[in-house]
Amino acid sequence: MLIQFGQALSAYFYDTFVAKFDFWLAFGLVAQLLFTARFLVQWISSERAGQSVVPMAFWFFSMGGGLMTLIYGLAKREPVIIIGQGLATLIYIRNIMLILKNRGRGSKTLEN
């Protein structure tokens, strides 16, 4: 039974990542890697600061990865991706606008 499961899993991954490999799969994978990079940037920045911080690069990675994932969803006609990334990308763009607008004023922190 374990051998059959391993063979079925191997066939699934081959079919998903090798047999069906095309431009859109590569594009979607790059989009997901870009989107995931935002968490690495945030984690590294937080470790350096010794507290949780959200650097500007986080929002740019979010926007870039979100836009690419939205394009992928539109090309593949995936309504869940289109709705999720469409709304999220608006939030990323708005956060960038707010940061740029308030850049000269310094950042605000929450009082404990």
Model pTM score? 0.74
64, 36 contact by CB (below 8 A): no
pLDDT (tens digit per residue) in 62-105: 999 999 999 999 999 999 999 999 999 999 999 999 988 888 66
CA distance linking residue 59 with residue 96, whole number of Å? 6
Q: What share of the chain is helix, strand, coil (3-state, %, to 5)?
A: 80, 0, 20
pLDDT (tens digit per residue) in 24-64: 989 999 999 998 999 999 999 999 999 999 999 999 999 99
What local confidence, expressed as pLDDT, does residue 102 receive? 86
